Homo-oligomer: A and B are copies of this chain.
Amino acid sequence: VKTEGSIQDLPAVWMEGSDVVMIEQRKLPGVFELLRATTTDEVALSIRDMAVRGAPSIGATAAYGMAQAQMLGEDLDTAAEKLKATRPTAFDLFYAVDLMQKLARTGGDLAEASRSYADNLTARCRRIGEHGEKLIRDGARILTHCNAGALATLDHGTALAPIREAHARGKGIFVFADETRPRMQGARLTVWELMQEDIPHALIADNAAGHFMQRGEIDMVITGADRVTLAGDAANKIGTYEKAVLARENAIPFYVAVPVSTIDFSMEDWRDIPIEERGEDEVLSVWGKRLSPEGARARNPAFDVTPAKYITGIITEEGVFKPEEIGGLKDRLGTL
């Protein structure tokens, strides 16, 4: 994550001693601040209340949380349970906690294992960028949704990794960033990241993506995902399904970029993915400002599922796959 005003280059989350330290993403871009979690409860809260967000960053935070518990001599099963109870949709969370638990049972040092998990993730995102960059033509106008950038993935990003790479290679790209109501990750985080890298962009209301597709102003879509099924379906931030349907309707390729740790090889039917419903207030208010009348009601699903038929390709650190090829990767990749 490149930060403003200095040459700092930080991951979204890291460890200092037994503290889990992270960029406080709820206050960006107005305030740049670090948050220090010193207990499992604090780590769990930072995930649940979205100080840290984005499936890969959540996975890394949870891995560090398990390492912290081991360092402090706490019960690892209790820690695992608390961490897994934070957010139901992102698969990396369960992947990382299960992996740490398994390693601990065979006497592994989780401080080292979690650091290597994080280093690994950063390297994977870089490879996602290299594979995905090949799909981007010179001058491409790319739509992205939510924030699947460095903040969401420790560094580089998933959806933003190919975009950064294409920009670095001088491809003259332009990015449309959906603002991504209700939590505005596009307006706050993606635009901030794009500005740090001097990538030309336009923030748009989520409502406007279809219009720009219809008018031929968008050449491709790249998003991240919080969980990919065996069939290549992708759960991601609410609104992703809308953009995918619109992309197909307008014959625009739609790519999902994820590390393999986001693929849930045990999930066959997308209808089984738990969809987190968050509080009504995120919709009734906008960033603390109440817009709707008192007594108004709202519903607030945080994720939706894009069935495989709308997905052109899934960009991973192992290469770009068609959704129907994901199942075949189970034996090769599902045992990491």
Contacts and interface: CB of A to CB of B under 8 A. Distances in A.
Contacts of A284: 187, 203
Contact of A184 (B214, B291, B301, B305): B291
Interface in A176-198: 176, 179-182, 184, 187-188, 191-192, 195
Contact of A210 (B180, B195, B245, B286): B245
Given A205-B283, A242-B207, A187 B300 contact: no
A137 interface: no
User: Size range of the interface on A?
Assistant: 35 or more
A286 B283 contact: no
B238 A249 contact: no
* Chain A, interface SS category: mixed
Assembly of this chain: how many copies?
2
A201 interface: yes
Interface of A: 29-30, 176, 179-182, 184, 187-188, 191-192, 195, 200-212, 214, 237-239, 241-242, 245-246, 249, 275, 283-284, 286-293, 295-301, 304-305
B206 A206 contact: yes
A282 to B, nearest CB: 8
A284 B293 CA distance: 23
B202 A297 contact: yes
12 contacts: A187-B296, A191-B296, A192-B293, A192-B296, A201-B297, A202-B297, A203-B284, A206-B207, A210-B245, A212-B301, A286-B289, A287-B289
